[in-house]
Amino acid sequence: MKRLLVITTLAFLLFVETNQTSAQPYQVPNSNFESWDGTSSTSEPVNWNSFASANCAIPGFMGLIACNTAKTPHHYKVSGQRPGSSGSYYLTIWTKNVVATNANGNITLGQIYIGSTTANSSSNYNHTLRSTSDHSEAFTSSPDSLYVWTKYWANSSSSQARISAFIHGNTDFKDPNDTGTATAYAAKATHQFTRTGTSAGNCSWVQQRIPFINNGSSTRNYIIMTFTNNSIPGGGSAGDSLSIDDIELIYSAWLTDIKLNNVTLNGFQIDKFSYDTVFPRGTNPNIWPSITYTSEVSDVYVSIDTVRGANNSIDSAKYIIHVLAEDSLTEKTYTINCYIWKSPNNTLSQLGYTLSGSDTVLISGFSSSTYSYNVSFPPASVSVPVINHTPLSDTGARIIRIIQATSPNGQALITVKAENGDTLVYTVNFSVELSDNANLDSLKYNGISVPAFHTDTLSYHIILNPGTSVPPFVTAVTQWSGLTPQITQAAGLPGTATVKVTAEDATVKTYSVYFTVALSTNSQASWIKYNGIALPNFHPDTLSYDIELPYGTTSAAITAAAVWPNAQVNIVNPISFPSFGSVSIIAEDTNYKRTYQLNFTIEKNTNALLDSLFYTLNANTIHINN
């Protein structure tokens, strides 16, 4: 095809004239085989001609017989469609045996001429018959390609179907006779291909895409198309078939080159429709580049829309190139997006904060390509950090927003916008470290501080006064404010109270206080009696007593009680008089013992009277009466 180089500026649109009128045909009528001249399966498709409408001119009686046989149908009207089509019919042509010769299926826009029984004779051809519109197709357009859907079966894997289309001058063009004469035609599209399946029942539909070659020199007046199921006249086998559907002539709307300021667009491809062109940083936005392009064919209409960027500048502007093909239907649109290079760098070079308003603390380990940081403060910190140091890595970038933390356990967000508009957010998560302090500040029982208390001493032994029966009540205060110690009181005596302290970071420390009651050393007697009579002048600290028993007393029973109820009382009674008895008091603490000694004597008898007087006479006792 001819190529046309067109150079334009933004000031005008280009129209490439053709000498065709809007009424000229761009497609072949009934190219989808939906219209037929009858309802039978051997009807001819409208605008197409088969053997049934052939001109058979074989001479002689045998020729008459041969013509009658040759003009029998070699085609079918088939209900159905190729994949993706909504049509109702397609055409199938096939090979039949005629007078011991294979007659291949044949369909054409012209007329089939049969002049010989020899299949490859030059007297057999398809031709445009200008004298009748039934066998000629007026055509003056310049298609780029021929697309057609085919399904082909041949018994031989080497057999080839043939498709041909010739756009020719004002002559009765013959195919194949004139196909080698360049002056006879302007453009041709020819193609041969093998079967599209391995058996007659599983052949696939294939779209054949055949370019037109513009190597002829004639004018464009007519088009003749021919489809045959074997490229060799008389070749193939009976039953070989070629199905045809949806013929389309393709018109070029391609550009083969686009230049800005005489430089081809980077990465330009004929079928790539969008391009980004970036001009260097500092480019004057009010100076527009020249645009040039090359179309694949000359008979196209090209227009360029210019969409200006902000402030009518080239930055963010675009060129939209519309290419309308000869058929006024096919259109390609190429878009060129123009930008002035802007740095995409939206990073910080450092990042820091202040706690007092005067100092700046740089974040440790900062890297421009790391966007999230964790900063911790010592336990109990209350100062709120403020981001105050955000130097940029690129002069074209800027800080568009800083959201400060509202507490020492808050988050700060720094949004940086690059020169090219890209944004990036740095995040700083501030936190106060959790305290590991699980110490007690004080530990008391019944309000009394535990002796020798120390925060690191976890176990204590408290000896309570003798006689204590109720476990003391333990209280505690933590060193770290806000903690509540968990206190388990002693259940009895002896017993242990525990104080469990859980720090903020879950560190646990448990204090224990073991309570015991001291043994009494009290070995005093509360009272001492003999024969039920309390010792006169008894005192617990007086350990020896002299007791004179009435005359005639024969025994003395000592009883006693200890001051301390749990003390042991041991009593030794006198066995004769004069003699002594004792009371021993052994305290709970058996190291303490006290013994009271009771010295017993019998009162002397002062009665000198006789109770009776008697004498014995002759072994008889005789009482003397007053």
Instruction: Identify the band that residue 613 occupies on the pLDDT scale cut at 50, 70 and 90.
Output: confident
Half-sphere exposure at residue 288, Cβ-oriented, CA atoms within 13 angstroms:
19
Q: Does residue 539 sit within a domain? A: yes
135 shares a domain with 114: yes
Tell me phi and psi for residue 207, to 5 degrees. Answer: -85, 120
Q: Does residue 42 sit within a domain? A: no
The secondary structure of 282-322 as a DSSP string is T--TTPPPPEEEEESSSS-EEEEEEE--GGG-STT-EEEEE
* Nearest CA among 351, 364, 342 for reference residue 392: 351
Structural domain of 532: 525-602
Q: What residues are paired with 512 via a beta bridge?
A: 459, 498
Instruction: Identify the band that residue 468 occupies on the pLDDT scale cut at 50, 70 and 90.
Output: very high
Per-residue pLDDT at 16: 33
pLDDT at 333 over 60: yes
Instruction: Identify the band that residue 605 occupies on the pLDDT scale cut at 50, 70 and 90.
Output: confident
Half-sphere exposure at residue 472, Cβ-oriented, CA atoms within 13 angstroms:
25
- Continuous segment of H or E residues that includes residue 412: strand 411-417
357 shares a domain with 335: no
Average pLDDT of 210-219? 96
CATH of residue 103's domain is 2.60.120.890
- Higher-scoring residue by pLDDT: 167, 63: 167
Per-residue pLDDT at 161: 97
- Encoded tokens for 80: 């159905």
Per-residue pLDDT at 5: 34
493 shares a domain with 549: no
Of 497, 517, 537, the position where a domain reaches its end is 517
- Cβ–Cβ under 8 Å, residues 528 and 535: yes
Q: What are the pLDDT digits (tens) for 235-249?
A: 888 889 999 999 999
Average pLDDT of 202-209? 97
Tell me whether the omega of the peptide bond preceding residue 550 falls within 30 degrees of 0, making it cis: no
306 shares a domain with 243: no
* C-alpha–C-alpha distance, residues 128 and 112, integer Å: 9
Lowest mean pLDDT among 14-18, 42-46, 486-490: 14-18
Q: Does residue 346 sit within a domain? A: no
pLDDT at 509 over 70: yes
Q: Does residue 39 sit within a domain? A: no
* C-alpha–C-alpha distance, residues 188 and 179, integer Å: 9
* C-alpha–C-alpha distance, residues 81 and 150, integer Å: 11
Polymer length in residues for the chain: 626
Q: What are the pLDDT digits (tens) for 8-33?
A: 333 323 333 333 333 458 999 999 99
- Cβ–Cβ under 8 Å, residues 232 and 176: no
Please name the residues in contact with 476: beta carbons below 8 A apart, sequence gap of 6 or more.
440, 442, 443, 444, 485, 487, 499, 501, 511
CA angle (531, 537, 540) in 5-degree steps: 90
393 shares a domain with 327: no
Average pLDDT of 35-39? 96
Q: Does residue 30 sit within a domain? A: no
Q: Does residue 378 sit within a domain? A: yes
Per-residue pLDDT at 398: 97
- Cβ–Cβ under 8 Å, residues 427 and 376: no
Please name the residues in contact with 464: beta carbons below 8 A apart, sequence gap of 6 or more.
472, 493, 515, 516, 517, 518
Q: How many domains does the chain have?
A: 5
- Higher-scoring residue by pLDDT: 66, 95: 95
277 shares a domain with 193: no
449 shares a domain with 426: no
- Encoded tokens for 45: 């498709």
Task: Label residues 105-114 b or e (16+ Cβ within 10 Å = b).
Answer: bbbbbbbbbb
278 shares a domain with 262: yes
pLDDT at 306 over 50: yes
Lowest mean pLDDT among 11-20, 57-66, 294-303, 425-434: 11-20
493-to-310, 585, 587, 589 alpha-carbon distances in Å: 91, 25, 20, 17
Q: Does residue 20 sit within a domain? A: no
Tell me whether the omega of the peptide bond preceding residue 176 falls within 30 degrees of 0, making it cis: yes
The amino acid at 428: V
* Nearest CA among 172, 36, 167 for reference residue 107: 36
Of 432, 448, 473, the position where a domain reaches its end is 432
* C-alpha–C-alpha distance, residues 426 and 149, integer Å: 59
Tell me phi and psi for residue 137, to 5 degrees. Answer: -130, 105
Per-residue pLDDT at 611: 76
